[in-house]
Amino acid sequence: MSKRILVTGGAGFLGSHLTEQLLEAGHEVLCVDNFFTGTRGNIKHLLGHKNFEVLRHDVTMPLYVEVDEIYNLACPASPIHYQHDPVQTTKTSVHGAINMLGLAKRLKIKIFQASTSEVYGDPSVHPQPEEYWGHVNPVGVRSCYDEGKRCAETLFFDYHRQHGLKIKVARIFNTYGPRMHPNDGRVVSNFVVQALQNADITIYGDGLQTRSFCYVDDLIDGFIKLMGSSDSVTGPINLGNPAEFTVLQLAQKVIEITGSRSKLVFKPIPHDDPRQRQPDIAKARALLGWEPKVQLTDGLERMINYFEQHLKQYA
Ligand code: NAD
Ligand code: UDP
Ligand code: UDP
């Protein structure tokens, strides 16, 4: 059945991929975005689509629209962007969640929250299952994002308990793919851009910290499966690829695939940079029948192909 679906942050990296999938499935999509990190370029191929609409709006302000479902993705995700205006980052997560939950409550509709593995902070449990409460600095430079997202989760569960709202909370682990902004600042896009330009590859710290990288198509498949799951499945549920790599291994893979002449340079490690991160996805496997399919090498090849073709347009 075709629905009218609100995607906040729809002009961003994940939002634009999600929008594409929803349109392909025959739904109408209302994209709400303030274009802080999202771009028109990400959605320009959708602008003529009869089922697609864009509204420039900041989710920290109330929003009165009529829709059947909400995916709440609005929030800068890269450390350099969310630390640029940290107060606005917390407002986006917290006031944004309140407004979107208020909207869902008025319309009695299901709402999805893009939460994050950052709720686990610098984890002392490895890999991270959903039951782990996390190890987060409440007053550090990453706190605006981590605590904002944690508070948003609290709000989702209180609207669920207090108002009977149908909620779907996904804890997303590092995701990469086409349409990440070349200046996004996250590790995969940085390394790919640097390698393609034969520029120095910037390793923060010793490069032995780990992340688990999920290809965007796999992740979006997980979003849609979670949204379509039975009402009893509220999450929080981890979505990510459990294959864990050090930052150095990632750099080596990118150099191998691109055949780049780039050299590795070591820079200071950012404050509160988590040492290890790997999702335990047993819940997603059992409840959603979901697991990622794209291996890091395949995903990097696809992303590198895209960046080879599109880097010029950003220059
Ligand atoms: P992104 O920065 O590409 O997209 C975020 C979008 O939200 C942008 O289009 C931006 O303009 C918009 N936005 C920001 N503040 C807004 C506001 N106040 N009002 C309206 N729109 C606003 O990031 P992304 O990687 O696509 O991330 C999307 C969501 O997924 C975010 O909530 C992020 O926290 C979450 N997430 C992403 C990852 C990842 O690896 N990509 C990991 C964990 C969680
Ligand atoms: N809200 C909104 N759109 C709606 C309904 C509510 O943006 O269609 C916002 C509104 O700003 C409100 C918030 O969501 O303050 C929380 O709504 P809720 O009904 O939970 O609380 P209240 O209206 O009592 O503040
Ligand atoms: N990183 C790096 N070089 C870069 C960008 C990031 O070594 O040019 C490191 C960063 O310090 C972190 C990891 O890569 O340990 C992932 O960083 P990212 O910003 O992509 O995501 P997050 O830290 O939020 O997981």
* Average of per-residue pLDDT values in the chain: 97
Does the Cβ of 170 fall within 6 Å of ligand 1? no
Q: Is the pLDDT of residue 123 over 80?
A: yes
Best probe residue, ligand 2, of 6, 55, 60, 98 (max atoms within 8 Å of C-beta): 98
Best probe residue, ligand 2, of 105, 111, 154, 167 (max atoms within 8 Å of C-beta): 105
Per-residue pLDDT tens over the stretch 45-73: 999 999 999 999 999 999 999 999 999 99
Residue closest via CA to ligand 2's atom 16 equals 102
314 catalytic? Reply is no
Per-residue pLDDT tens over the stretch 209-241: 999 999 999 999 999 999 999 999 999 999 999
How many Cα neighbours within 13 Å face the side chain of 103? 26
Amino acid at 214: C
Query: CA 308, CA 96: separation in Å to the nearest integer?
Result: 35
| Catalytic-role residue among 71, 82, 120, 145 | 145
User: CATH classification of 4-176+215-241+277-293, choosing from 3.40.640.10, 3.40.50.720, 3.30.70.260, 3.20.20.80?
Assistant: 3.40.50.720
User: For the chain, percent helix, then strand, then coil, each to nearest 5?
Assistant: 40, 20, 40
ipTM topping 0.90: yes
Among 11, 19, 102, 31, residue whose Cα is nearest residue 60: 102
Beta strands in the chain (DSSP E): 4-8, 28-33, 52-56, 69-72, 110-116, 167-172, 175-176, 201-204, 210-212, 214-215, 237-239, 244-246, 264-267
Query: CA 13, CA 131: separation in Å to the nearest integer?
Result: 28
Domain boundaries defined on the chain? 4-176+215-241+277-293
